Chains A and B, each alone.
Chain A
Amino acid sequence: MCAWLTHDPLDVPSLLAEVASEGCGATTLFLGTVRRSADDGDVVGIEYSAYDAMAEAELEGVLADARARWPGVRIAMRHRLGYVATGEVSVAIAVAAPHRSTAFDACRFVIDQTKERVPVWKKERLAAGTERWVGPHGG
């Protein structure tokens, strides 16, 4: 189980393979994708940046907390940095557990904690060509 920041497009099938195990009967997958909405000013992409060393440490901390709460849970995640266009995946979290209750709960926990703790920032690029920084929990 590892937490990673990457500038490459995310390989979702490989994350699922990472957590697969004969002892796990339930797998959940969360994908965060860049969303386009006229109400939000017509975002065409998001530039993700991070305090890399601390973001890696905080992601490891989130996973450690999840493993402490749900012993035996298997988790793999990746967070993308750099420019991510509308419709592309910016964060992926795969969780496998013996039963579905843990798989759902742990997956929700990891994305929620990631949004609270990890020093990553988003700068939206709009169709009009302008850019703006996103506040906390903007999506």
Chain B
Amino acid sequence: MIGDGVNVKVLVFASYADELGRGELALSLPLGATVGDCIAEVRRQTGGRVPPAPLVAVNRVYARPEQPLAEGDEVAIIPPVAGG
């Protein structure tokens, strides 16, 4: 679906990547799709293997569910962080 929607790259990490068996997905979403829409689609495609309201970053900045997505955005689904 090129041209009529928004193509984004979704990255998953750590325990979520283990759960999915992969670290990356390519999604085509409708124009105007938000972060929340992206998560819902990931959940749909993966049988709910990602939580409904995870931490998300868009282009390496934390983002809210209502943030709209643009063509080429990098969406990262981030498990609870445990650094330091």
Chain B residues with CB under 8 A of A55:
83
Q: For window 41-57 of chain A, which residues contact chain B by CB distance below 8 Å?
A: 48-51, 53-55, 57
B82: interface (CB < 8 Å) = yes
Q: Chain B CB within 10 Å — which of A49, A54, A134 has the most?
A: A54
Q: How many A-B residue pairs have CB under 8 A?
A: 68
The verdict on A133 contacting B14 (CB below 8 Å), with A51-B78, A57-B60 known, is yes
Q: Bin the interface of chain B by size.
A: 10 to 19
List 17 other contacts, CB 8 Å, given A51-B57, A135-B80: A32-B84, A49-B14, A51-B13, A51-B78, A53-B60, A57-B61, A115-B82, A115-B83, A119-B13, A119-B57, A120-B83, A121-B13, A121-B14, A121-B81, A133-B15, A137-B82, A138-B82
Q: Please give me the 9 A-B residue pairs with the lowest Cβ-Cβ distance, nearest first.
A: A120-B83, A121-B14, A136-B80, A54-B60, A115-B84, A133-B15, A114-B84, A118-B83, A134-B82
